Amino acid sequence: MLTSILIHSINMTAAEKLPLWLPAADALALLKVRPQTLYANVSRGRIRTRADTADPRRSLYHRDDVQRLAARRQGRRSDAVLAGEAIQWGEPVLASGISTVVAGRLYYRGQDACALAEEGTLEQVSALLWDGPAHPFASPGGTGAPASSTAPLAAAMTALAARAAADPPARGRGRPALLQEAAGLMGLLADALAGPSRGERVHERLAAAWRRPKAADLIRRALVLLADHELNASTFAARVTASTGASLAASVLSGLAALNGPLHGGAARATLGLIRAAEREGVDAAMHEWLSLGRRLPAFGHPLYPQGDVRCQALLAHVDLPAPYAELREAGERLMGEKANVDFALAALTTAHRLPAHAPLVLFALARAVGWIAHALEQQATGTLIRPRARYTGPAPSGLVTAARDAGA
């Protein structure tokens, strides 16, 4: 026991001496792999990278990520530790055929999402992700809730809660009926977030509701790019709910509740706050103040895109960046060593076209609901309940303590 503690202490001391960012030679030496394997781990988001400031042509690799993978290869990680890591950007925890990120590209059922965004609509992407025929997004009988100009997410949650309480469970029902119900739910959400439909597609409805017809094409692109993104927090919440056999409305409501958090769908809102601070104080002063308060700078970096978020790049290619954003992007990427992400692009789109401040969250909610439904349908088809175990860290159970004390007496 003492020997293992000493070895662990020596290993920890050695680790602390390593710099946070390692050159390729050091990373390869720790991992004991070929360069191709190192690059594959980077493309899968397992190892973070940044450009070497001394030579931008070279990449540096995050020490902690490299050491974690090295330890795993050497078999020193317990099943409990691996399970714990899996829910924080770790190894995949369940099978899905809906979307994936490979080599820094996002794919929907094998099709490049950025390519789909060139001409596709959210309605077309829903047919792809749901693996079924296209249905118009229309509330049955036009019963959708009226849109709220001040609290659209609250209106959407209220409408979904009513449906979740009334709709029958999804378990045991036929797929055609569920697909029809899914399209109706999207119509309900669109009514709550964009107002009653006159037959337009979702991006056209949003552009009309916000009185920004020239932004319609960018809104369309954003909706397609946001439709799904592997097993993120809101999607996992939706799948867990679906695994119980609950209605599709209940699954979408679970996803929407998770999306509303500041670390998920609210990240673009934080970016807008940073921009306002930059306009008042200057970009460098605003970033310094933000970091001095212990907050991570929003809108930069994404573990699945070490070379840059392709969704951000696809959107910004069609946005004329307002002056504060161009300056913030350059300064933030230099300071953080990471590229701007999709939250930055959504905030820039909102400012460039003078959309409502809640526009990024509305875009996220409407688009990602398509993905939540796809995952709910996929999970329902498995017929299994998602039921992970917790690693208990509380006080020892009193009965066991008493028994152990009596046994030692």
pLDDT digits (tens, 9 = 90+) for 254-272: 999 999 888 787 787 888 8
Q: Comparing 237 with 43, which gets the higher pLDDT?
A: 237
- Contact indicator for 99, 106 with CB cutoff of 8 Å: yes
Is the pLDDT at 360 greater than 90? The verdict is yes
CA atoms within 13 A on the CB side of 311: 30
Mean pLDDT of the chain: 85
- The residues carrying an active-site annotation are 302, 343
Q: What is the pLDDT of residue 168?
A: 95
CB neighbourhood size of 242 (10 A): 29
Given a cut of 80, whether residue 226 has pLDDT beyond it is yes
H-helix or E-strand spanning residue 106? strand 105-108
Instruction: State residue 2's pLDDT score.
Output: 34
Alpha helical stretches, state H, 210-322: 216-225, 233-243, 248-259, 267-281, 283-292, 310-316
pLDDT in tens, 54-99: 887 788 999 988 988 888 776 655 555 555 554 554 555 688 999 9
Answer yes or no: is pLDDT of 298 > 90: no
Closest CA to 102 of 113, 117, 87, 118: 113
Question: pLDDT band at 407, cuts 50/70/90?
Answer: low
Going from the C-alpha of 309 to that of each of 176, 225, 345, 353, 364, the distances in angstroms are: 35, 11, 10, 22, 16
Residue 268 neighbours by CB under 8 Å, 6+ apart: 298, 299, 343, 344, 346, 347, 350, 360, 361, 364
Lowest-pLDDT choice from 66-75, 152-161, 232-241: 66-75
Average pLDDT over residues 142-153: 60
